[in-house]
Amino acid sequence: MRPRNDRRTATARIFAAALACLALAGCGPSDPLDGRVDAADGLAFSMWRSNVERDLTPQQVVDLDRSVQEIKFHVMAAGAASGSDAVEAAMRQMINGLTVRQLLQRGLGWELDRAEAERSALETGMRQNALMTTRPGDTDSSEYLIALKERQTARLRAATDEVNRARERLAAAGGVVPAAPSPAP
């Protein structure tokens, strides 16, 4: 009888180990935004990127790509690296180990900062151009200023739309969205 009892014990242990493995397998992050970025090197980042895409919504994938691109812009603007390989390596170093949520918040936050700066510069230019006058009877200059104002107004509308999109996407990623600046008079 002893061998039969030993088999039952061994089977029970295997069953318990299998249950423990299944339980541990389900203990990963339930929210894909809580997963960690693996960007130790180019290959690791490529593999992580293709794996994480399956767990994210299509909009989150777009936001992820925009965030990575924005972080590259930030690396270049800060002068931290130049050349595509060096910028890519600096970007990977900056995001390695972050959660997907942190990556989105950082990239989308910088995108919002950049978009707001562009919109602010357009507003400043429009205020300065509004002070321009033409000589009486100079219809060419007058028509030019009217067309300039129309172009700038269209660009300002587009810049405002970009700011609003960036604010919306940052909020969706759980980021802190600063209060919107007052519109230009």
DSSP assignments along 3-41, one per residue: HHHHHHHHHHHHHHHHHHHHHHHTTS-SSGGGSBP--SS
The pLDDT value given to residue 88: 94
The DSSP annotation for 68-110 comes to HHHHHHHHHHTTS--SHHHHHHHHHHHHTT-BHHHHHHHHHHH
Tokens 């290959």 correspond to 43
Q: Could you report the per-residue pLDDT of 29-44, keeping only the tens digit for each?
A: 588 999 999 999 999 9
The pLDDT value given to residue 21: 54
The pLDDT value given to residue 12: 64
Residue stretches of the chain with pLDDT short of 50: 1
The pLDDT value given to residue 31: 87
Q: Could you report the per-residue pLDDT of 83-97, keeping only the tens digit for each?
A: 999 999 999 999 999
The answer to whether the predicted template modeling score (pTM) of the entire model surpasses 0.85 is no
